[in-house]
């Protein structure tokens, strides 16, 4: 397994929000987490990415224990985190956003731009524009493109289709589909249509626990199998 | 009126040079750094001491002052401010104010409490503009402020370090998620800001008298600049500094005692109509 989370407890001060959470992501596997708001999904991703330290349990990445390792060190190990808020660096141009994403990777700025254009060619017309002027969908596609620079091994993506128009959701779906099988992904998502069409496995989260793992498509394709957790 | 405007632009230029460090420190680290005023004060004292005792060359003395300020500010950052990252802003205010108070006492111990003058490095040279004689030194100060602004624009817009800092000002977590140790870059910015504070002290020394408490007065004015310009906004501080410099000069022309008070009236008005976002 590329990522193994075991019996993870995480708290905000005295408030414990994750209770003994365990999950795993294999090489080039696309794993989804579904659950209601407040279930602890974002906390789980942030802890895995190194933005929060667990109070108990373990996180192993590529066979190496790394619970509590800072986010910048986790990124250097090949983990990329795409935040839920779709915030780009609005004062910088799109090209500068891309170059910044490549700064700590082996990719050259030119290769980085090519990578983003490969997954979303229409970004070419915005390269010299301030990223703050992009629409929500364009920002998400830029962030996904930036996350793929430098051949990361694991993407942690928080609600990639949240708040997007139907047409843009289709574009995000295409991007995710195009990289499926080439990189490991752990994705928080509430759009169950997207989940059903892309997932290899699904974890359901509820109140800081993982009550169920759907190990195969046949399990999560059943009517209402996932809906009961939203 | 031309001389009043020139005086206002001079004050604005000095306020900009000093306040840029404060706004960067707040924008990057969310730290309100009162010790900035100590670095400014030390800059003024060092330039005075070097010109009086080592070599009466203002440019050389100014460079020495900036060179002294950088390690001093590094020590403050390393042993005080770095321990306050992520903590309540109140701790930073108390700790850096304590550094300022201790530092001022050290200044008094080294140089005494008596105000001391520094003569015009250009020996009173002036230029005539619109029939009015303007001190050349003040024109030079305005020019230095413009050069600093241009240099910072190039630094923040054209260099990768500058872009990382601009990105970090906006979203520190997102920069960290790219594998970049953003705090290291913020330290560089802190040292640049401190060097500029010392430069502000150097430039203001020939215009004012040098005394241990000179930093307190300018600190309040610089906080007004930072608040009016938008905390963390580099361009905002530039505009605010010159606007407030002109407010001081124009108010002082008509009603001297209210000159600096008017700065805080403007600041209050800005805060009322454009409150700081939490």
User: What DSSP assignment string belongs to chain A?
Assistant: --EEEEEEEEEETTEEEEEEEEEEE-TT-EEEEEE-TTSSHHHHHHHHHTSS--SEEEEEETTEE-TT--HHHHHHTTEEEE-TT----TTSBHHHHHHHHHTTSS--HHHHHHHHHHH-GGGGGGTTSBGGGS-HHHHHHHHHHHHTTT--SEEEEE-TTTT--HHHHHHHHHHHHHHBTTBEEEEE---HHHHHHH-SEEEEEETTEEEEEE-SHHHHTSTTTTGGG-
Category of A40 on φ-ψ map: left (φ > 0), alpha (ψ -120 to 50) or beta: left
- How far apart are the C-alpha atoms of A72 and A51, rounded to whole Å? 9
Higher pLDDT, A117 or B81: A117
Task: Report pLDDT for B189.
Answer: 87
For residue B217, what pLDDT is reported?
A: 87
Residue B66 pLDDT: 96
pLDDT in tens, A81-125: 999 999 999 999 999 999 999 999 999 999 999 999 998 999 999
* Option in A81, A99, A103 nearest B177 (CB): A81
Q: What are the chain A neighbours of B182 within 8 Å (beta carbons)? A: 72
Among all residues of chain A, which has the CA nearest to that of B176?
A: A72
Determine the average pLDDT of the residues in B265-274.
87
Looking at residue A70, its pLDDT comes to 94
User: Are residues A5 and A48 in contact, defined by beta-carbon separation less than 8 angstroms?
Assistant: yes
Between chain A and chain B, the number of residue pairs with CB atoms below 8 A apart is: 62
Render each residue's pLDDT in chain A as its tens digit; 230 residues. 899 999 999 999 989 999 999 999 999 999 999 999 999 999 999 999 999 999 999 999 999 999 889 999 999 999 999 999 999 999 999 999 999 999 999 999 999 999 999 989 999 999 999 999 999 999 999 999 999 999 999 999 999 999 999 999 999 999 999 999 999 999 999 999 999 999 999 999 999 999 999 999 999 998 888 999 88
pLDDT-based confidence at B275, cuts 50/70/90? Answer: low
Residue among B147, B148, B167 nearest B157 (CA): B167
What integer pLDDT is reported at residue B277 of this predicted model?
55
B276 pLDDT band, cuts 50/70/90, is low
Q: Please tell me which residue of chain B has the smallest CA distance to A72.
A: B179
Give the closest-approach CA distance of B169 to chain A in angstroms.
9
Rounded to two decimals, the ipTM of the complex is 0.92
* Chain B residues within 8 Å of chain A (Cβ atoms): 160, 163-164, 166-167, 170-171, 173-182
Q: Do B179 and A76 touch (CB under 8 A)?
A: yes
B2-273 under CATH 3.40.720, yes or no = no
Q: Between chains, do B174 and A83 touch, taking CB under 8 Å as contact? A: yes
Tokens of A191: 């759009």
**Which of A70, A90, A103 lies closest to B178 in CB terms?**
A103
CB atoms A49 and B177 under 8 Å: yes
pLDDT tens per residue across span B42-73 = 999 999 999 999 999 999 999 999 999 999 99
**Chain B partners of A101 at a C-beta cutoff of 8 Å?**
178
Asked if B163 lies within 8 A of A96 by C-beta distance, the reply is yes
Percent of chain B beyond pLDDT 90? 60
What is the residue whose two structure tokens read 């500094």? B241
Chain B positions in Cβ-Cβ contact with residue A49 (cut-off 8 Å) = 177
> Regarding predicted confidence, which is higher, B109 or B188?
B109
Q: Is this structure's pTM higher than 0.90?
A: no
Chain A nearest-CA distance from B184, in A, is 12
Q: Is A89 close to B179, i.e. CB distance below 8 A?
A: no
Instruction: Check residue A24 and give its pLDDT.
Output: 97
Q: Do B178 and A75 touch (CB under 8 A)?
A: yes
Interatomic CA distance for residues B132 and B2, integer angstroms? 7
CA distance A79 to chain B (A): 8
Checking if the pLDDT of B278 tops 50, the result is: no
- Above 80 in pLDDT, residue B177? yes
Please tell me the distance in Å from B270's CA to the nearest CA on chain A.
23
The pLDDT score that the predictor gives to residue A94 is 97
Q: Which residues of A touch B173 (CB under 8 A)?
A: 51, 71, 83
């Amino acid at each position: 397994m590329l990522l193994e989370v075991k019996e993870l407890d995480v708290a905000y001060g005295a408030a414990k929000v994750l209770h003994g959470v365990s999950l795993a992501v294999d090489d080039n596997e696309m794993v989804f987490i579904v659950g209601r708001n407040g279930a602890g999904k974002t906390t789980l991703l942030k802890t895995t990415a190194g933005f929060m330290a667990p109070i108990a349990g373990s996180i192993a990445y590529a066979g190496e224990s790394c619970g509590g390792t800072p986010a910048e060190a986790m990124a250097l190990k090949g983990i990329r985190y795409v935040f839920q808020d779709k915030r780009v660096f609005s004062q910088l141009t799109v090209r500068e956003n891309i170059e910044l994403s490549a700064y700590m990777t082996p990719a050259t700025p030119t290769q980085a731009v090519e990578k983003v254009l490969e997954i979303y060619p229409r970004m070419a017309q915005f390269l010299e524009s301030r990223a703050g002027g992009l629409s929500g969908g364009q920002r998400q596609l830029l962030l996904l493109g930036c996350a793929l620079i430098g051949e990361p091994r694991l993407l942690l993506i928080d609600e990639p289709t949240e708040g997007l128009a139907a047409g843009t959701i289709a574009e995000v779906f295409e991007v995710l589909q195009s990289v499926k099988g080439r990189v490991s992904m752990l994705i928080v998502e509430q759009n169950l249509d997207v989940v059903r069409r892309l997932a290899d496995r699904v974890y359901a989260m509820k109140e800081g626990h993982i009550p169920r793992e759907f190990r195969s498509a046949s399990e999560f394709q059943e009517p209402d199998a996932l809906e009961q957790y939203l | 009126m031309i001389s009043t405007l020139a005086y206002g632009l001079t004050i604005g230029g000095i306020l900009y040079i000093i306040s840029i460090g404060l706004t960067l420190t707040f924008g990057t680290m969310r730290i309100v750094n009162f010790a900035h005023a100590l670095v400014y004060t030390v800059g003024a004292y060092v330039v005075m001491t070097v010109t009086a005792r080592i070599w009466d060359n203002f440019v050389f003395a100014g460079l020495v002052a900036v060179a002294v300020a950088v390690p001093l500010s590094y020590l403050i950052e390393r042993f005080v401010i770095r321990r306050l990252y992520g903590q309540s802003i109140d701790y930073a205010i108390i700790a850096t104010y304590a550094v300022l108070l201790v530092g001022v006492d050290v200044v008094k111990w080294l140089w005494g409490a008596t105000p001391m003058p520094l003569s015009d490095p250009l020996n009173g040279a002036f230029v005539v503009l619109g029939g009015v004689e303007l001190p050349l030194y003040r024109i030079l100060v305005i020019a230095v402020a413009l050069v600093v602004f241009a240099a910072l624009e190039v630094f923040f817009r054209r260099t990768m370090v500058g872009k990382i800092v601009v990105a970090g000002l906006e979203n520190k977590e997102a920069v960290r998620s790219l594998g970049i140790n953003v705090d290291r870059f913020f330290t560089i910015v802190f040292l640049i800001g401190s060097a500029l504070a010392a430069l502000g002290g150097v430039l203001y020394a020939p215009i004012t008298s040098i005394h241990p408490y000179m930093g307190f007065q300018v600190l309040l004015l610089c906080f007004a600049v930072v608040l009016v310009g938008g905390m963390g906004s580099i361009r905002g501080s530039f505009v605010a500094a010159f606007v407030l410099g002109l407010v001081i000069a124009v108010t002082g022309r008509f009603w001297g005692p209210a000159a600096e008070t008017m700065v805080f009236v403007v600041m209050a008005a800005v805060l009322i109509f454009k409150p700081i976002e939490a």
